[in-house]
Amino acid sequence: MSTVLLRRANQHLLGIETLSALDIRQILARARILRDAPEQVHGVMAGVPVITLFYESSTRTRVSFEMAAQKLGASTISISASSSSVTKGESLWDTGRTLASMDPGVIIIRHSSPGAPQLLAEAMESVGNGAAVVNAGDGAHEHPTQALLDALTLLDRLDSLEGRTIGIIGDIAHSRVARSNLFLLRKLGARVLLGGPRSLVPKTLEPLGARIVRDVDEIIEVADAVMMLRVQFERMQGPPAFPSLSDYTRTYGLTAARARRMPPQAFVMHPGPMNRGIEIDPEVADGPTSVVAHQVRNGVAARMAVLERAMDVDGWSSSKDL
Amino acid sequence: MKRTLIRGVRVFDPGAGIDARDRSVLIEGPYLRYLNVEPDVLADRVVDGHGLVLCPGFIDLRSHLGEPGFTRQESIATGVAAAAAGGFTTVVMMPTTEPTIDRVEVVELILSRARAAGSTRVLPAGALSLGRKGESLAEMGNLSAAGCVLFTDADRSVRDSQLLRYAMETAYDLRMPIATHAEDEWLSLGGVMNEGEVSARLGLRGSPSAAEAVGVARDLALAELTGARLHLGHVSTAGAAELIRQAKRRGVRVTAEVSPLHLILTDEATLGYNTAAKLVPPLRTQVDVDAVVRALADGTIDAVATDHQGQTELDKNVEFDRAASGSIGLETAFGVVLELVEQGRLTFERAVAVLTRGPAQVLGRRDLGRLIANGTADLVLVDPHAAWEFQLSSSFSRSRNTPLSGRMFPGRVVWSMARGEVTFDILR
């Protein structure tokens, strides 16, 4: 395979907000093929270096990306902030330029600062490198591959998202998963209801197409699926945003009693990591309405599709049918 | 003494109520001698003023000149050059220096550097608290005697209301104003931009406009309690503007300023994580912009102050939440107010007043910001119809951080004179 061809149209994936509904459908369609027809998986990325540059800790996302890359034949190199030049005070800009000079195919970045993947992409472009940057989560901004794997999971159960109601409950303010899902679900025609403590559910998200519902029971009773999010204490500053964990669970948690009020076909999602007993009852998390394990499985396929798109394998985006 | 004659110029001074066309003005040494002489008076130097407007030299109430301590970003010499290019003949320098301006020695150092840099007046603003830490008062009496013109902790709010009260009472006795950065820092904790739809989209922590309103309300209450003169620095929200309007009606001795950028830009300028638009206070919404422009037009806000602050690439070309705040602004302030004139949102008279009479009143100075026969020759010539593009490459500032790079303005400053010395001239 010609590396010249490969580098021609590498595409960043910085967020869902900038994707079209068509882009999203193409990625999902390809992910389904890669998942359901493994014979379609070729080593299209053989010899391509894929770097995972993680400034924040992660288990599932990093492993999922690395597995996706390896299934496509890529060689993966992982860099953690704790073992890199960051500890020596190197700026993200300089790190980007340094890595770009080594000519990788894809850099997958996770960072606590919103917008860091864009800065990295700009740094790499500044040295004329065509590597694609894939956002694996930037602060409270976006986590596009999580939204894609969530959509894949939703569409495994629902024919279409058009007119469907999806609830997202929990610490919305600090959640990149909530933002990416909100953008994606709206683009595919779903109604999005947000719930959780008012102090963690910014009303400024309403102009983006969400509806905030004060009473989480109202969401649970109508939603086709509910996504439960954990409280991100590590991102909080100042005093606690709600009185106590037991208060939180009582008012906003998906307890077994609440789960029983879900419509018959409705199901429960969680992007992890899960705080069992706080936002979700263990019984519900492991129960028949939970699709959490399925989400994780879909993660690898969604990320394979994203990596293929990033490398523009076989003129990928133009040739795929929906 | 050397004589300069400006011929055929429109003389415009809102402070003195002068608007006279086709005048000839004579400057002798450091003095503005006559505002109306015969055009054939003998002079060493003649400036053709046709099509130009002669105004009192502009006064900036808020510049960060970086010296001592941050000369990578700006120095008194480069800052003063940028000021001259923007028509400013007087610059109040914030105590955002290292060490801060809380000792007489620092004041003396600044004044001597300023003298070396030319004739533009640099007026140091003393720190309100030692080290700007908000714990105990700086030596306001000694600093005042050394040349400080007001007291402020610059871009830090004074958290301790008791300390601010004492500062105001001390300032009252010294007949000096206190300038505050009004903000409830608990409410805005961790905020790196305005809290709103844009921050929600970007996933950045926002600071609500209510944090400014809370701060303004507290500072106004203390001004009322102490009778001190309070100047509210860089006001940015509709809520603050309304509180100031009401306080003025009640007779509180309060003045206020707004930065040029807050008059024309909203938080949408930060989209794409544009750190050039990361400011303190943050850029707000269109509702706020409209409100502060109205407040400037109706006199609720007295002055436009540049908040000129250089930052290096090292401090700006990083993740948005880690980037330094601030923008350079001395060279573009007049262009911005002219833009508002062109839009019909400000009269030309008001546009000049907020850079001259307004800031002079904030400082309580009758000798500045006005054209007075036999007064000091602090002058600026502007061409209100010479459209120009602000190019960073031609900036006099040491730094390059601004969201206005490449912006077109309807008119510009073409010549400045401070204390009889020409400090900027693009007429030749």
User: Per-residue DSSP letters for A168-213?
Assistant: EES--TT-HHHHHHHHHHHHTT-EEEEES-GGGS-GGGGGGTEEE-
Structural domain contains residue A254: yes
Omega prior to B281 cis, within 30 of 0: yes
Average pLDDT over residues A179-207: 97
Kindly name the residue from B307, B315, B378, B383 that is annotated as catalytic.
B307
Residues B107 and B62 in one domain: yes
- In this prediction, residue A311 carries a pLDDT of 87
Chain A nearest CA to B209, separation (Å): 13
Q: How many helices, marked H, and strands, marked E, lie in chain B?
A: 13, 23
* Backbone dihedral angles phi then psi of residue A213, each to the nearest 5 degrees: -115, 125
How many pairs of residues across A and B have Cβ atoms under 8 Å apart?
Answer: 66
Per the listing, tokens 């004739």 go with B119
How many domains are contained in chain B?
2
User: Residue A187 corresponds to which amino acid?
Assistant: K
Residues B118 and B258 in one domain: yes
Chain B nearest CA to A170, separation (Å): 16
pLDDT per residue as tens digits for the range B335-344: 999 999 999 9
* Helix, coil or strand: residue B182: coil
Expressed as residue numbers, the domain containing A55 is: 3-140+299-315
Closest in B189, B318, B320 to A114, CB measured:
B320
| CATH code for position B148 | 3.20.20.140
pLDDT per residue as tens digits for the range B90-143: 999 999 999 999 999 999 999 999 999 999 999 999 999 999 999 999 999 999
The closest of B3, B9, B6, B13 to B357, measured between CA atoms, is B13
Q: Contact A68/A60 with Cβ under 8 angstroms?
A: no
Structural domain contains residue B240: yes
Structural domain contains residue A20: yes
Q: Contact A253/A281 with Cβ under 8 angstroms?
A: yes
Which tokens is A91 given? 């700026």
Rounded distance between C-alpha atoms, residue B32 and residue B56, angstroms: 11
| Residue B382, pLDDT above cutoff 60 | yes
Q: How far is CA A113 from CA B88, B273, B310, in A?
A: 39, 10, 23
Residues B309 and B296 in one domain: yes
Rounded distance between C-alpha atoms, residue A220 and residue A255, angstroms: 11
Residues B43 and B70 in one domain: no
Out of B327, B342, B363, pick the residue that ends a domain.
B363
Task: Judge: B200–A205 Cβ closer than 8 Å, yes or no.
Answer: yes
Closest in A119, A179, A204 to B196, CB measured:
A204
Rounded distance between C-alpha atoms, residue B67 and residue B81, angstroms: 14
Which helix (H) or strand (E) segment holds residue B224: the answer is helix B209-226
Residues A110 and A180 in one domain: no
Beta-bridge partners for A106: A50, A132
What is the value of ipTM here, to two decimals?
A: 0.91
Omega prior to A104 cis, within 30 of 0: no
Task: Judge: B273–A115 Cβ closer than 8 Å, yes or no.
Answer: yes
Which of A316-320, B169-173, B188-192, B389-393 comes out lowest in average pLDDT?
Answer: A316-320
Share of chain B above pLDDT 70, in %: 100
- Which strands sit side by side in the sheet containing A191-195, from one edge to the other? A210-212, A191-195, A165-169, A225-228, A267-269
Q: Contact B241/B182 with Cβ under 8 angstroms?
A: no
Structural domain contains residue A320: no
pLDDT per residue as tens digits for the range B11-29: 999 999 999 999 999 999 9
- In this prediction, residue A8 carries a pLDDT of 41
Which tokens is A304 given? 């394979």
Other CB atoms within 10 Å distance of the CB of residue A40:
10
Expressed as residue numbers, the domain containing B398 is: 3-54+375-425
Q: Contact B111/B424 with Cβ under 8 angstroms?
A: no
Task: Judge: B197–A115 Cβ closer than 8 Å, yes or no.
Answer: no
Annotation marks residue B302 as catalytic: no
Residue spans of alpha helices (H) in chain A? 3-8, 21-36, 60-71, 92-101, 116-126, 144-157, 176-187, 216-222, 245-252, 256-259, 282-285, 292-311, 316-319
> Could you tell me the pTM of the whole model?
0.94
Out of B316, B337, B363, pick the residue that ends a domain.
B363
Residues A17 and A117 in one domain: yes
Q: What residue in B sits closest to A182 (Cα-Cα)?
A: B201
Average pLDDT over residues A228-247: 93
Residues A183 and A98 in one domain: no
Task: Judge: A114–B322 Cβ closer than 8 Å, yes or no.
Answer: no
Structural domain contains residue B43: yes
Structural domain contains residue A133: yes
Q: What residue in B sits closest to A178 (Cα-Cα)?
A: B203
Residues A175 and A129 in one domain: no
Residues B180 and B286 in one domain: yes
Structural domain contains residue B293: yes
Residues A85 and A152 in one domain: no
Task: Judge: A139–B197 Cβ closer than 8 Å, yes or no.
Answer: no
Provide, as residue numbers in chain A, all residues whose Cβ is less than 8 Å from the Cβ of B314. 91
What is the sign, positive or negative, of the torsion defined by CA atoms of B329, B115, B313, B126?
negative
- In this prediction, residue A316 carries a pLDDT of 55
Which tokens is B399 given? 């730094």
Residues A152 and A289 in one domain: yes
Residues B158 and B298 in one domain: yes
Residues B183 and B215 in one domain: yes
| CATH code for position B27 | 2.30.40.10
Residues B79 and B32 in one domain: no
| Residue A232, pLDDT above cutoff 90 | yes
Provide, as residue numbers in chain A, all residues whose Cβ is less than 8 Å from the Cβ of B201. 17, 179, 208
Residues A159 and A117 in one domain: no
Which helix (H) or strand (E) segment holds residue A289: the answer is none
Q: What residue in A sits closest to B203 (Cα-Cα)?
A: A141
Structural domain contains residue B23: yes
Residues A182 and A80 in one domain: no
Provide, as residue numbers in chain A, all residues whose Cβ is less than 8 Å from the Cβ of B203. 114, 138-142, 176, 179
Q: What is the DSSP letter of B33?
A: E
Residues B206 and B333 in one domain: yes
Closest in B190, B201, B321 to A113, CB measured:
B321
Residues A208 and A238 in one domain: yes
Residues A152 and A216 in one domain: yes
Q: Contact A253/A41 with Cβ under 8 angstroms?
A: no
**Confidence grade of residue A6 (pLDDT, cut at 50, 70, 90):** very low
- In this prediction, residue A320 carries a pLDDT of 44
Task: Judge: B321–A139 Cβ closer than 8 Å, yes or no.
Answer: yes
Q: What residue in A sits closest to B202 (Cα-Cα)?
A: A141
Provide, as residue numbers in chain B, all residues whose Cβ is less than 8 Å from the Cβ of A142. 203
Task: Judge: B321–A202 Cβ closer than 8 Å, yes or no.
Answer: no
Task: Judge: A111–B189 Cβ closer than 8 Å, yes or no.
Answer: no
Per the listing, tokens 């002489």 go with B37
Structural domain contains residue A41: yes
Structural domain contains residue A25: yes
- In this prediction, residue A3 carries a pLDDT of 36
Closest in A114, A139, A204 to B197, CB measured:
A204
Residues of B with CB under 8 A from a CB of A: 186, 189-190, 195-197, 199-206, 272-273, 314, 317-322
Q: What residue in B sits closest to A16 (Cα-Cα)?
A: B201
Task: Judge: B186–A238 Cβ closer than 8 Å, yes or no.
Answer: yes
Q: Contact A66/A78 with Cβ under 8 angstroms?
A: yes
Structural domain contains residue B251: yes
Structural domain contains residue B369: no
Structural domain contains residue B370: no
Residues A153 and A291 in one domain: yes
Per the listing, tokens 């300032």 go with B171
Q: What is the DSSP letter of B340?
A: H
Rounded distance between C-alpha atoms, residue A250 and residue A44, angstroms: 50
Structural domain contains residue A322: no
Residues A45 and A128 in one domain: yes
| CATH code for position A222 | 3.40.50.1370
Rounded distance between C-alpha atoms, residue B99 and residue A167, angstroms: 54
Task: Judge: B319–A92 Cβ closer than 8 Å, yes or no.
Answer: yes
| Residue B428, pLDDT above cutoff 60 | yes
Rounded distance between C-alpha atoms, residue A120 and residue B359, angstroms: 43
Structural domain contains residue A321: no
Which tokens is B267 given? 């938080």
How many domains are contained in chain A?
2
Residues B247 and B395 in one domain: no
Rounded distance between C-alpha atoms, residue B265 and residue B263, angstroms: 6
Residues B104 and B37 in one domain: no
* Backbone dihedral angles phi then psi of residue B216, each to the nearest 5 degrees: -65, -45
Residues B256 and B401 in one domain: no
Structural domain contains residue B163: yes
